[in-house]
């Protein structure tokens, strides 16, 4: 048992003893008081940061599960849509969304870009696709319905391109870090005489 848990246990036991022995409370109320004191002590000892982190991680897991369900629905809609152009865009959206979701999960991202994708862009994208499919199935020919269909097709295509940009933005920090690491690595190679130019010279000297 860790030190913090020992302290919490002592606090809980003390409150139980105070209620049961000191104030002559019944057994069950005394146990409730002791348990409450233990939990309160745990929260105080862990600090608000630990508690918030656990909530955020749990919430992120739930949102990722919902995102996967939405993305699975998008993939299923490929067979429901008649337009070849829209089918192509839906496949690309599904493929890119899968990579975005996996990236968020792998890096445990909880920033502005990832939150907007999970909480807004992906759910609204699903609504647009479903609405498009509904009107397409009705085979409406009115001017307003045709205008809506054309707007939806353009929006679905824009979404396909936008999701690719979102994926790029999620990788941006990793790219910066890798570039910095490569610069340091290259400097080390040069300082130790292992860069490609020097190796070519050495090889040439050996062959002469």
Question: pLDDT tens, position by position, for the chain (208 residues)?
Answer: 445 555 445 544 554 455 545 555 555 555 555 555 444 554 555 544 444 444 455 688 999 999 999 999 999 999 999 999 999 999 999 999 999 999 999 888 888 888 999 999 999 999 999 999 988 888 877 888 888 899 999 999 999 999 999 998 888 766 776 777 788 888 888 887 776 654 444 444 444 4
Helix axes of 84-107 and 27-77: crossing angle, nearest 10 degrees = 150
User: Which residues have a Cβ under 8 Å from the Cβ of 73 and sit 6 or more positions away?
Assistant: 126
State the sign of the Cα–Cα–Cα–Cα dihedral 173, 179, 183, 189.
positive
**In this structure, is residue 70 part of a structural domain?**
no
Same domain, yes or no, for 98 and 185? Answer: yes
**In this structure, is residue 5 part of a structural domain?**
yes
Same domain, yes or no, for 49 and 83? Answer: no
Residue keyed to tokens 């890096």: 107
**In this structure, is residue 66 part of a structural domain?**
no
Same domain, yes or no, for 51 and 98? Answer: no
Distances (CA, A) of 5 to 9, 38, 45, 188: 6, 9, 9, 47
pLDDT of the residue at 35: 55
Q: How many CB atoms lie within 10 A of CB 92?
A: 17
The overall longest dimension of the chain from CA atoms, in Å, is 100
**In this structure, is residue 64 part of a structural domain?**
no
pLDDT of the residue at 53: 45
Category of 108 on φ-ψ map: left (φ > 0), alpha (ψ -120 to 50) or beta? left
């Amino acid at each position: 048992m860790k030190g913090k848990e020992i302290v919490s246990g002592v606090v809980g036991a003390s409150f139980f003893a105070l209620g049961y022995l000191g104030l002559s409370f019944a057994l069950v109320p005394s146990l409730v008081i002791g348990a409450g004191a233990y939990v309160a002590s745990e929260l105080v000892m862990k600090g608000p940061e630990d508690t918030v982190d656990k909530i955020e991680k749990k919430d992120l897991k739930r949102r990722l599960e919902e995102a996967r369900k939405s993305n699975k629905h998008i993939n299923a809609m490929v067979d429901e849509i008649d337009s070849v152009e829209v089918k192509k865009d839906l496949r690309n959206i599904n493929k890119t969304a899968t990579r975005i979701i996996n990236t968020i999960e792998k890096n445990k991202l909880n920033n502005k870009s990832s939150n907007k994708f999970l909480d807004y862009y992906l759910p609204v994208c699903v609504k647009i696709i479903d609405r498009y499919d509904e009107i397409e199935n009705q085979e409406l020919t009115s001017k307003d319905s045709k205008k809506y269909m054309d707007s939806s097709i353009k929006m679905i295509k824009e979404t396909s391109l936008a999701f690719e940009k979102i994926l790029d933005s999620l990788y941006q920090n990793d790219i910066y870090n890798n570039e910095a690491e490569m610069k340091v690595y290259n400097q080390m190679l040069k300082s130790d005489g292992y860069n490609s130019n020097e190796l070519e010279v050495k090889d040439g000297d050996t062959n002469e």
